[in-house]
Structure 1
Amino acid sequence: MKEFFSFDERLGIQLPDLTMELADYSIETQEEILLYWEQVRGSIPDRIGELEIQINQKQALLSNESNFPRSCQLNTEIAELASIINDLWLWYRANEVLSTKVHQ
């Protein structure tokens, strides 16, 4: 089933990489894709938790940082991690759309 997914380095998860609309695949393939996606989707909250730990660590460093350029760098890193978390939540909610399309 991994042929329908590709690993996203930034997000740290497999993402759908379909060559055609989901509905254009056979029902069996659609079900396999959705089952695999549900497994990936189930790992998203854990991935978010990992990123939140990193944010907390960087915020702790930031609270004690007196070097302005370093504090700017930490802020940038925190913002990027927050952006990744936001994108992961979007993908997490994307399952509702996929399931609805297949079952219509």
Structure 2
Amino acid sequence: MKEYFSFDHRLGIPLPELTLELDHFNKAKQQEILFYWEQVRGSIPDRIRDLETEINHKQALLSNESNFPRSCQLNTEIAELASIINDLWLWYRANEVLSTKVHQ
């Protein structure tokens, strides 16, 4: 599936990178692509949970941090993790329609 997906290092998952609309592929290839995406999509909540755990850890560090520059750094890291979670949810929700085609 490497020709249809590319790994996004920021999000930690492969994302669709189709050069053609899905309808331009034969039915077997469509099913293969959609099945793979459904597996990736199913892993998104686990990825989000891991990131939330990391945020909680950083928030705990932040609550005990007295060094202002370090506090700013932790806040920046927390904001970036929250941004990643937001983007993952967008991919999860935006592609629900695509994923329902797997079952048709």
> TM-score, length-normalised on structure 1?
0.91
Q: Percent identity?
A: 82
Question: SS of 1:15's equivalent?
Answer: strand
CA–CA separation in structure 1 for the residues paired with 2:17 and 2:79? 27
Deviation by residue 1:37-85 (Cα, 9 ceiling, x = unmatched): 0000111111001100100000000000011111011000000000000
CA–CA separation in structure 1 for the residues paired with 2:47 and 2:84: 10
CA distance in 2, matches of 1:27, 1:5: 18
Match for residue 79 of structure 1?
A: 79
Cα drift, residue 102 of structure 1? 8.0
Does structure 2 retain, via aligned residues, the 8 Å contact 1:58–1:74? yes
Indicate the residue corresponding to 1:89 in structure 2: 89
Pick which of 94-103 and 42-51 moved more. 94-103
TM-score normalized with structure 2 length: 0.91
Unaligned runs of 5+ in 1: none
User: Residues of 1 paired with 2:80 and 2:88: CA distance?
Assistant: 12
Contact 1:38–1:95 (CA under 8 A) maintained in structure 2: no
